Structure 1
């Protein structure tokens, strides 16, 4: 077929390169996109009824690749890694849709980390907080592995895009390097699992959602200096507590919602979707080609 096309082009005196993949391979007309996870998949903080990054991504894929996208969202606020697995296992419809998925996304770890930090927040030292987090690593690693393995058991072909987490308190506590480090401990677990599993792709959100509009080192150093001068060393600091509890005030991170100063807002979910689409583009043959 390819040679026949080339002979016709030569006969017409037309000279240009034809990529054989565009001739022999065709895109799917529609794909099944299944999102699993916690509040970031549910879309808490989204005011546009697009289920956070999920339907934003679906629309972008339709626009970019001229493909229909059917979405299924199994996100639930507050769920830890073990709770997500338990919920999905008990849902026959979710299992069926996972089996038929072309693309699977997963947000997990934020609630595991949050609950660990809250238990440790009254610790006497930052080192002790990090020790609490490190001690929780084996359980989280086991739970995450079990969750991913269960998803893979339902579908051995669809790529799984595993999001990392971020530090929503950074703009208030820029002098607390340990909090960023603690988030990175959990992110390393996600990233390492992805690097060891050819079906899993890691999508990092840390820099984008943690730093928000403070994209330069100079901007972040100003935040750090401000936090030091205000003696903001703990989330129980009165200034930080007041800012986090006052829903009428604007959020200092432009990508985080004022509803709870924790979840992404509409801009934040736009950013999450952009990061996901860029990662998906790298291996589009895994989910787009027939």
Structure 2
């Protein structure tokens, strides 16, 4: 009788222990569902960084004869030197999609091309970097050739600083139109604009042209500042003290070394 009672107690105790263990297990299971630990959270697989895409530079160059590379005895101008320099960087991949430079192009002509030429618009839409040179012809087209020895005698006659001053406001309005059109065509691309320099700094009668160039650059900077993706690369200081070293024989366009200096500034900006 006593042994049967003792057996019943043991069985009851075991049942109670099993019940307690089951309740504890259920409690832990519920806890994991209601209050998951950090390690129990779903593991989100990190997407691979788009390193190649992010660093892939698809470049379109557009503008005047500086974009075309006039004056560079080696050919290619600053555009080719920029692409070559970027391509040498293992962390970047650079591709020149198109060079749309046109010698003698003014800002009003470029703005019109941007509005009407679907081929140009398509090329620009393929880029994530747009290199732009424009404005030199708007200010100085009437003075090209003044620095040549054959034209030196007509310097005072051709010296149209009054014309340059008169054309400043009109030229800047044209530039504003160019920037607006570029933004319309490709609002996401990085736009690098080359500031102007005075190619006639060493011609005494035209030295004061630097004042107008500075005004242009200051106003251009203000315009570019209105767009988060646009940057101006200064070139004025490069040429002012080294005209003889950096200009080609036409006394207007950079030579190979001059373009190299511009290219280095562009690469730094990128």
Q: Is TM > 0.5 for Structure 1 vs Structure 2?
A: yes
The match for 2:174 is 143
- Note the C-alpha offset of 1:190: 1.6
Say which of 167, 173, 177 aligns to 2:198: 167
The match for 1:191 is 221
Separation of aligned partners in 1, 2:192 and 2:173: 19
Deviations 1:132-179 (A, max 9, x none): 434323322221111111111111111111111111121343x85422
The match for 1:255 is 246
The match for 1:278 is 268
- Note the C-alpha offset of 1:182: 1.7
Please tell me whether residue 267 in structure 1 is matched to residue 267 in structure 2: no
Please tell me whether residue 58 in structure 1 is matched to residue 89 in structure 2: no
Secondary structure of the residue aligned to 1:254 is helix
- Note the C-alpha offset of 1:197: 2.1
Separation of aligned partners in 2, 1:87 and 1:122: 34
| TM superposition score normalised by structure 2 | 0.70
Secondary structure of the residue aligned to 1:36 is strand
Say which of 177, 181, 187 aligns to 1:156: 187
Moved more, 68-77 or 148-157: 68-77
Q: Is the 8 A contact 2:239 2:246 kept in 1?
A: yes
Bigger-Rg structure (1/2):
2
Query: As a proportion of its length, which structure holds more helix?
Result: 2
| TM superposition score normalised by structure 1 | 0.66
**Structure 1: runs of 5+ lacking an equivalent:** 1-22, 213-251, 281-290
Alignment length (residue pairs): 212
Matches within 5 A, 1:1-290: 24=49, 26-28=51-53, 30-50=56-76, 52-64=77-89, 65-115=91-141, 132-173=163-204, 177-212=207-242, 253-258=244-249, 260-280=250-270
Separation of aligned partners in 1, 2:58 and 2:49: 23
Separation of aligned partners in 1, 2:177 and 2:193: 14
Separation of aligned partners in 1, 2:116 and 2:216: 26
Q: Is the 8 A contact 1:37 1:74 kept in 2?
A: yes
Separation of aligned partners in 2, 1:97 and 1:164: 23
